[in-house]
Structure formats: C-alpha cells, structure tokens
Amino acid sequence: MDSMRVMVVGAKGRVGSRVVAGIEEADDLVLAGAVDLDDDLDGLVGREMPQVAVDFTIPSAVFGNLEILLARGVHAVVGTTGLTDTQLAEIDRLAREHEVAALVAPNFALGAVLMMRFAEEAARHFPWVEVVERHHEHKLDAPSGTARITAERIAEARSDAPAPAEETESAPGARGGRVAGVPVHSLRLPGSVAHQEVWFGGPGETLVVRHDTINRDVFVPGVLLAVRAIARHRGLVRGLEPVLWSDA
C-alpha cells in the first residue's frame, strides 16, 4: 500500500513542528510539505499534492487555509481553535461538495478527549459544575476550545441547571465567563502548557475530573490517528471521538 502524503500547515509552531517529526517517523506516512504562514499554500498544495493536510496555525488564518485545502480535494485535520459556527457550517458544505472531510478538534490529547467524556457523564448526576482551564501566556483565545466544548457537552448532558445565585462581583469577571450556562475560568501563565479541571459539587462531596498536558508531544498520536482515519469520513467531523470510537 502506498504511503499517505501529509502536509503540515503551521509546521514551525509549537505543535506543528512535533507533528512534522511524528509524520517523518511513521512508516505509513510521507511528509508532503512543511508550510509556514507566509508560504503560498495554494501553490504548494498544487505542486506537492497531499492527500491530507494538518493545520496548527492561528485563528485568523485557519478558515482561509481550509477554503484552499478543501477546494483542492484535500482532507483536513485541524487543531487550530477559534472557528465560528458560521465558518464550521461553511467548512462542512465545502468538504461535502468536494467529497472530502475536515476533522476539527479542540484537543488531540487522548486523555483530554476522555476527560471531556467523563465530565459529560458526571454532569448527568452533578448539575453544579465549573470549568477551570490553564494555558501558557501566549494562547490567543479564551476560553480554550477544549473548555468551550466541555461546557457545551455538560449543558447538553445535565437534566437541569442550578438557579443562578444572587451574587455580587466586587471585581467584574471574578466569577468567570459562562458558556452554555456553565461558569468557565481561564488562566494564562508562563510554565503552563494545557490543563483543565472540571469541578462538580454535590451534597457533602466534590468530584474533580482533571487532565494535564505535560508537553506537546502528547498531541501527536491523536493527530496521526485522525490522519489515518479521515478518508473514511465526509463533511465536518467534530472532535476526535468519532475516530476513537466509531473507527475502533
């Protein structure tokens, strides 16, 4: 079987550089281009003809990149966060039109995917919940994509939400922001990579579901798993879960 040709967009970034190394080490994958933000993506895609492209760039660039890739009939695996619902709908339309798939995931760490699933299950029994996420000081969006998706899944899973307390914030924002009615707190600190805790409270007990990313190598196995499975899908694929469970 021929090796799959994979292009990495954002190849000089913190995660992109590690994905490049992971592809080069894989026996069944071939690196078909390591692209930076100032490169001519359309020209490189036309010349190198990748089957799959992995995007770890920045929120302001990712949608334009996907328009180019999908129009060229290239499957996309996307770890860049910040896409709007309108953009995701257009990505789904473009991918289906060109008979390819775009897998967009907020987190490719397998432990983080399990953390979100465990939190969703716990929310069925503990309606009182808050999310605390911590990332490095250079992260551009807040809350993180992982925290946003976690909160949305919690909101869908729990049967009812607690009535809001009559609180007074002497410092605006002290109680965090709300995503789908779930309080979310974002920390940005040097020395951090990607960390999330989901705190559940019940009468006489608390339950904490936590995941810590120690270094960015943790994302590579999930990215390569998505790369190898993406051709079996069409349209927009939300998260790594369809690959982890449907393709198992």
> What residues are annotated to the active site?
135, 139
**What is the residue-level pLDDT of the chain in tens, covering all 248 positions?**
689 999 999 999 989 999 999 999 999 999 999 999 889 999 999 999 999 999 999 999 999 999 999 999 999 999 998 899 999 999 999 999 999 999 999 889 999 999 999 999 999 999 999 999 999 999 988 999 899 999 999 999 998 888 777 788 889 888 899 999 999 999 999 999 999 999 999 999 999 999 999 988 999 999 999 999 999 999 999 989 888 876 54
245's CB contacts (< 8 A; 6+ apart) are none
Q: Collapsing DSSP states into helix, strand and coil, what is residue 160?
A: coil
- Residue 118 is predicted with a pLDDT of 96
- Residue 187 is predicted with a pLDDT of 96
Q: What are phi and psi of 141, to 5 degrees?
A: -115, 150
- Residue 246 is predicted with a pLDDT of 65
State the Cα–Cα distance between residues 127 and 199, nearest whole angstrom.
Answer: 11
Model-level pTM greater than 0.85? no
- Residue 1 is predicted with a pLDDT of 60
State the Cα–Cα distance between residues 171 and 100, nearest whole angstrom.
Answer: 48
- Sheet containing 235-238: which strands, arranged edge to edge? 29-35, 4-9, 52-55, 75-78, 101-104, 235-238
- Residue 248 is predicted with a pLDDT of 46
